[in-house]
Structure 1
Amino acid sequence: MSTVRKKGGPACCSCLSNQEAPVASILRCSNLTTGMDDAEIAELLASSQVRRHVFAPGEIVFHDGDQPHSLYILLRGEVHILKDTFSGRRIFISEVNEPGDMFGEVYEVLKRPYDIYVEAAKETELLEIGSRFFTLSSQDESPSRSALLVERNLMRIFARKAYFMHGRIKVLASGSLREKIVRYLFQNMDTDGHVELAVSREYLAAYLAVTRPSLSRELSAMQKDGLLKVEGKNLHILDLERFEEYL
């Protein structure tokens, strides 16, 4: 999942927001089927268990401890990835709110039980793709091109997630909260010093491993100090030279 949407970035595929679109059209916009033509997507769907599900707000997609058997692609709505502590406190880990975003694939590939749970934040429609989607190549002596493309695309997806985590480690290795914020924004701002957040403050606080009130206070302090201007999800760096002193 992308944590920011850079100014001038590509828009989401329109087919993903169309509830009446066929499954093949939805998959055509997914990173999982990059490089496939219509015939190969149809071939893949014929060999897979693909279902649509609609979840009401507050409904659980899967529970902590469940054994994975699918991956999920968001068609519309929003889900939150959560974890409960032993004392019962709910920890917000991430959110998925961009049509076409995928989640659950790492657990499915590794065949490890979920150590988180996913809850619909609003009415949400998901495309569930069963395990056979990942095991096509092991079922045939001569894997089809579509099966090989799925394997290649999964490797690219995992590589992007690893790169994302590498960036987060660099942010978390910073000393103060202000340094963490500066490094995060510096990684994601455009050439004009502008960052448009594609996530909530709650998600950003979880990403930075701080509380939401602490994040809000520090952003307000940075704005008061003339470092940046905050307008909703749009942040503008006002003094780049001073800003870079915190890197």
Structure 2
Amino acid sequence: MIFLDWEAVGNNRLFQGISEAELKRMLGCAKFQYKMYHKGDVIFRQDESVENFYVLLKGQVTIAKHLISGKKNILYIVRENQIFGEEQTFQYGAWALSDVELIEMPKTFFYSFCSNACKHHKQLIQNILEMLSIKEELAVKKINIVSAVSLKERISIWILEEADEYGIVRVEMNREDLADYLGVARPSLSRTLMQMQGEGMIEVGKKQIRILDVKKIQTLSN
């Protein structure tokens, strides 16, 4: 028997405006599945036709594509309380970046209403449309990064996008994955980060990057 933390599930943006009783009834109607994956596990492979929609409860998931050259193109990272897998055929695959807990729901549940046309089902559709607009922003962010001419520009754009109010970027990816996300070789990324640190722009730590000169970073990102 599955013991879900219903309060945590209800806090997911996808289920906002839906009571716990409605949520339990709705997920039961959808025949949902609760799944756990270990770091590095494949959730689905690229070009695979999958019938489920994924709601990430805990952990992080990498959405990426393995190229014929052997390189990997990371599109974005899915974080807790986000959704993924809305495409019909996946040109990208999904891998657990950390230990993961998620809910799988059949896509057909989102595309059609039951005979009762429940209010909470309508709220769910509204929520998912709002969340898909956030996914579009993630894709636009990636386009802005890879369209930059130099690696310093790419890094600067990424840093400004990810930095918190204190100018700190929490680096969730390892150096190899970050290089794949930025579309460069790992040695080039490491070398450029050290150059930027030497020029007083940033301070590079193992799990974070701190902005030291925001004006220089902003100049590079424009």
Give the TM-score category using the shorter length: 0.7 to 0.9
Q: Does 1:74 align with 2:53?
A: no
Question: Does the 8 A contact of 2:73 with 2:183 survive in 1?
Answer: no
- Indicate the percent of aligned positions where both proteins have the same amino acid: 25
Q: Could you say which residue in structure 2 is the equivalent of 1:158?
A: 132
Alpha-carbon distance in 1 for matches of 2:78, 2:128: 20
Alpha-carbon distance in 1 for matches of 2:35, 2:122: 27
Question: Does the 8 A contact of 1:85 with 1:91 survive in 2?
Answer: yes
The offset of 1:223, in angstroms, is 0.5
Question: Does the 8 A contact of 2:64 with 2:93 survive in 1?
Answer: yes
Single out whichever of 127-136 and 31-40 deviates more from structure 2: 127-136
Q: Give unpaired runs (5+ residues) of structure 1.
A: 1-19
Alpha-carbon distance in 2 for matches of 1:160, 1:22: 26
Q: Does 1:37 align with 2:19?
A: yes
The offset of 1:154, in angstroms, is 1.0
Q: Which has the higher contact order (CA 8 A, sep 6+)?
A: 1
Question: Does the 8 A contact of 2:76 with 2:139 survive in 1?
Answer: no
Single out whichever of 22-31 and 160-169 deviates more from structure 2: 22-31
Q: Could you say which residue in structure 2 is the equivalent of 1:168?
A: 142
Alpha-carbon distance in 2 for matches of 1:118, 1:173: 24
The offset of 1:129, in angstroms, is 1.4
Alpha-carbon distance in 2 for matches of 1:113, 1:120: 19
Q: Could you say which residue in structure 2 is the equivalent of 1:134?
A: 110
Q: What is the DSSP-based 3-state SS (H/G/I as helix, E as strand, rest coil) of the residue aligned with 1:100?
A: coil
Q: Could you say which residue in structure 2 is the equivalent of 1:241?
A: 215
Deviation by residue 1:58-78 (Cα, 9 ceiling, x = unmatched): 543323333221112334455
Q: Could you say which residue in structure 1 is the equivalent of 2:121?
A: 147
Q: What TM-score does the superposition give when structure 1 sets the normalisation length?
A: 0.75
Alpha-carbon distance in 1 for matches of 2:41, 2:140: 32
Q: What TM-score does the superposition give when structure 2 sets the normalisation length?
A: 0.82
The offset of 1:156, in angstroms, is 0.9
Alpha-carbon distance in 2 for matches of 1:103, 1:47: 20
Q: Does 1:115 align with 2:115?
A: no
Question: Does the 8 A contact of 1:94 with 1:206 survive in 2?
Answer: no
Deviation by residue 1:163-182 (Cα, 9 ceiling, x = unmatched): 22222322223221101111
> Once superposed, what is the RMSD of the aligned Cα atoms?
2.8
Q: Give unpaired runs (5+ residues) of structure 2.
A: none
